[in-house]
């Protein structure tokens, strides 16, 4: 396949994904900035703690997007239109059932979550209000994951861009209205999220009906829940669930440990995590393109195109990581002022921001590997690497460094976790993907076999 054709396919998927992904941390940044300029830093902590809980819960269901993308892309590459349609309905069935279950279990989730988080009483009180409002967005949020993944599986990154940007713009408008207009605080941020999610689900259903009606022929529950394909769906998604839950554990643990240091370290670390979210969502644009194209070319049996795509996506993804590093370095004295005007928080950020400056270029390798493994549905390797990095590398590093270096040690441990992910997935690529590391250096002889 010609180089220009490969590049076009990558960018047709990556650019809309990057734009839609970046709108997510923009929303989070706006939320933080809105409450960050209220009289107390407590509201920053409340949104951070409440958001952490939902990150753990919702990102745990990230398999509804990732697993759906890989499986749908492979069915699409095989031109199996019936299976493509069934996969959408199977994912939506699971998403709606899981969303309703989360609402039913909201008090149990809150009880466990707040028992594990040691924030100040005022932060916890506001975080509880935030949680019990936002939980009602669960069915819409999880359904959007499923539809988003399906769109990417059929090689359409434009509709996820339209939906994601629309949802986040609506969310920002609602947040500004509720916080600045109606005088609400973190509770207004939660309410804005609920309303925006359901409006976004309505838009997604409209796009499906308007442009993919041929795939929407209703299948019986017996076919949707057929044993063999359902077992594969569950197996792939269980691996991704464990992988994602481990990843969310790391970032949730980081936030919880920040809360133990006090309101100022919690606020500073929460703002810096926003910057991590920006570069991770940006680089994930190429990771999502890797999911779609890896699945497609594996489904079509096109080995050489697969190798070419992987090599190019690594180059583009690492290049974008370097760009983020340069931007953070150039703006390290200005960017934090966009989030807060509390001087103690800004002073601490100034001491810690070096780890955020170097993180994008270092972390880009593991993000791209994630997309490749997911597109290939090589989820066992993805799961194993994450478990090793989270529990055998990150936690020991954290407990070794935090007692001596406090917040500095926490950031070093987190960066070590990202480095370990990149190394472990690189080493496992031969076993689980039959892709030797030499493809990263341009040596493709014999890879067509």
Which residue ranges make up each domain of the chain? 3-441
Q: CA 44 to CA 28: how far, in whole Å?
A: 11
Number of neighbouring beta carbons within 10 Å of residue 339: 25
Burial track 136-159 (b if 16+ CB lie within 10 A, e otherwise): bbbbbbbbbbbbbbbbbbbbbbbb
pLDDT of residue 323: 96
In whole angstroms, how far apart are CA 208 and each of 150, 211, 405, 425? 10, 6, 51, 35
pLDDT of residue 445: 39
Structure tokens at 256: 């919880």
Residue 443 has pLDDT above 50, yes or no: no
Average pLDDT, the chain: 85
Residue 188 has pLDDT above 80, yes or no: yes
Burial track 280-317 (b if 16+ CB lie within 10 A, e otherwise): bbbbbbbbbbbbbbbbbbbbbebbebbbbbbbbbbebb
Q: Which of 33-47, 76-90, 98-112, 179-193 has the lowest mean pLDDT?
A: 33-47
Task: Specify whether the CB–CB gap between 141 and 62 falls below 8 A.
Answer: no
Which residue in this structure is represented by tokens 């005088």? 183
**Nearest alpha carbon to residue 254 among 387, 117, 105, 149:** 117
Q: CA 264 to CA 26: how far, in whole Å?
A: 22
Residue 41 has pLDDT above 70, yes or no: no
**Nearest alpha carbon to residue 152 among 58, 61, 287, 30:** 287
Q: CA 167 to CA 131: how far, in whole Å?
A: 19
103-115: average pLDDT: 90
Query: How does DSSP classify residue 182?
Result: S
pLDDT of residue 322: 96
Q: CA 259 to CA 119: how far, in whole Å?
A: 5
Number of neighbouring beta carbons within 10 Å of residue 189: 29
pLDDT bin (cut points 50, 70, 90) of residue 234 is confident
Burial track 60-73 (b if 16+ CB lie within 10 A, e otherwise): bbbbbbbbbbbbbb
Q: What is the pTM of this model?
A: 0.78
Task: Specify whether the CB–CB gap between 54 and 248 falls below 8 A.
Answer: no
Show Cβ contacts of residue 434 under 8 Å, excluding neighbours closer than 6 positions. none
29-38: average pLDDT: 66
Q: Which of 203-212, 293-302, 395-404 has the lowest mean pLDDT?
A: 293-302
Burial of 341 (C-beta count, 10 Å sphere; 0-12/13-18/19+): exposed
**Nearest alpha carbon to residue 263 among 51, 42, 18:** 42
Residue 47 has pLDDT above 90, yes or no: no
- DSSP-derived secondary structure for 251-268: HHHHHHHHHHH-HHHHHH
Number of neighbouring beta carbons within 10 Å of residue 390: 21
Out of 6-15, 21-30, 194-203, 298-307, the most confident range is 194-203
Q: With DSSP H G I counted as helix, E B as strand and the rest as coil, what are the percentages for the chain, rounded to 5?
A: 85, 0, 15
Summarize pLDDT for 343-380 with one digit per residue, the tens: 898 999 999 999 999 999 999 999 999 999 998 989 89
Summarize pLDDT for 196-208 with one digit per residue, the tens: 999 999 999 999 9
278-306: average pLDDT: 88
pLDDT bin (cut points 50, 70, 90) of residue 27 is low
């Amino acid at each position: 396949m010609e180089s220009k054709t490969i590049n076009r396919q990558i960018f047709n998927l990556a650019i809309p994904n990057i734009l839609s992904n970046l709108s997510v941390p923009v929303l989070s940044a706006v939320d933080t900035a809105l409450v960050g300029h209220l009289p107390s830093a407590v509201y920053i902590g409340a949104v951070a703690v409440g958001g952490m809980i939902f990150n753990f819960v919702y990102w745990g269901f990230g398999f509804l997007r990732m697993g759906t993308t890989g499986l749908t892309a492979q069915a699409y590459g095989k031109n199996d239109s019936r299976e493509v349609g069934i996969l959408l309905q199977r994912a939506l069935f699971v998403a709606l059932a899981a969303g309703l279950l989360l609402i039913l279990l909201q008090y149990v989730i809150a009880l466990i979550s707040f028992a594990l988080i040691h924030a100040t009483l005022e932060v916890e009180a506001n975080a509880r209000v935030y949680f019990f409002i936002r939980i009602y967005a669960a069915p819409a949020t999880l359904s959007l994951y499923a539809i988003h993944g399906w769109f990417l599986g059929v090689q359409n990154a434009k509709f996820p861009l339209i939906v994601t940007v629309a949802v986040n713009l609506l969310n920002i408008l609602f947040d500004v209205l509720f916080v600045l207009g109606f005088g609400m605080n973190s509770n207004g941020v939660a309410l804005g999220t609920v309303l925006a999610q359901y409006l976004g689900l309505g838009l997604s259903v409209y796009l499906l009906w308007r442009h993919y009606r041929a795939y929407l022929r209703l299948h019986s529950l017996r076919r949707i829940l057929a044993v063999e394909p359902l077992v594969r769906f569950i197996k792939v998604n269980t691996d991704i669930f464990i992988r994602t839950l481990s990843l969310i554990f790391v970032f949730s643990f980081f936030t919880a440990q920040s809360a133990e240091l006090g309101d100022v370290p919690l606020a500073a670390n929460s703002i810096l995590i926003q910057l991590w979210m920006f570069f991770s969502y940006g680089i994930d644009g190429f990771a999502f393109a890797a999911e779609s194209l890896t699945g497609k070319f594996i489904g079509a049996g096109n080995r050489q195109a697969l190798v070419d795509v992987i090599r190019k996506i690594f180059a583009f993804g690492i290049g974008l990581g370097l760009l983020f590093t340069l931007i953070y370095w150039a703006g390290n004295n200005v960017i934090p002022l966009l989030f807060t005007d509390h001087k103690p928080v800004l002073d601490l950020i100034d001491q810690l921001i070096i780890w955020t400056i170097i993180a994008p270029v270092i972390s880009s390798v593991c993000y791209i590997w994630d997309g490749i493994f997911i597109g290939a549905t090589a989820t066992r390797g993805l799961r194993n690497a994450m478990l090793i990095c989270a529990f055998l590398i990150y936690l020991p590093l954290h407990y070794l460094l935090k007692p001596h270096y406090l917040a500095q040690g926490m950031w070093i441990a987190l960066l070590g976790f990202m480095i370990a992910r990149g190394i472990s997935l690189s080493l496992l690529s031969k076993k689980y993907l039959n892709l030797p590391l030499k493809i990263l250096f341009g040596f493709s002889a014999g890879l067509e076999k």
